[in-house]
Structure 1
Amino acid sequence: MPDTTPLITAADRLADRLRALPQSALRRGAAAEGLALARELVLRAQRLEAPGEVPRVLPDAGLFATGDQLAVAANDFVEALALAPPAEREDHLKEALALVRAAAQRIG
C-alpha cells in the first residue's frame, strides 16, 4: 500500500481551512468547492468498492459541514484504495492528491 499520509494531511489542512472560514467566504464558493471535492473523492471510493454499481451522491449537509465532509471523504477514499489492484493504487492516490491540491489553490 502506498503512503497515504500526504493525501490525508492535505485533505485535513483543507478541511480545517474550510471549518475556519467565515460564512461570507463559504457562501462565495469555498463551501461549494469543498463539497465538489468531497463528492469526487466519495465517487472514486465507491468506484473502487463497488465497480459497475451506480454511485450515490454525497448530500449537501450545509456550509458549515463541508470541512467535515471533506475529511471523512478523504479517509473513506484511503480505505477504499486497498481494494484497487496493487499496480493501480499509486496512480489513484496521485490523482486524488492532485485534486485536493488544486481545490486548495482555488479556495485560497
Structure 2
Amino acid sequence: MTDDQVRVEASIRFLSAEGGGRSSPLFGGTSYRPNHNFFGPDDREMCMGFIELPEGQQVAPGETIQTQMTLWIYPAVKPELNVGRQWRIQEGGKLVAVGTIIKVLDSVA
C-alpha cells in the first residue's frame, strides 16, 4: 500500500449491534480508523481511513451519518472512488458499517 490520500464526503450506515455491528457508540474528537474494504468480504488488502466526527458528536450503532473522511489508498482502489460507490467498513474482519461516496473532495488521478 502506498501513502496516497484522498478525501471524500460519505454517507456511513453503521450496523446495529443486533445486526452484527459495534456494541458501543463512537464519540467525536477521538480517532476512529477502521479498515475500508472496496473489494468484498474475502479481500485482505484494505485501506486505512479516518472517519471525522466533530467534538461532542456521538454515533450509536444503527445510525447513519454524513461526514468527510480521509482514505489512505493503494493504486487498485483509485478507479473505485466514484460517486455512489459503496464499500465495507470493518474492524479487523468484522463488518461494522457500509459507506457510500457522496462526493470526491480531492483528485485521485
Q: Relative to total residues, which structure has the larger strand share, 1 or 2?
A: 2
TM over 0.5: no
TM-score with structure 1 length normalisation?
Answer: 0.26
TM-score with structure 2 length normalisation?
Answer: 0.26
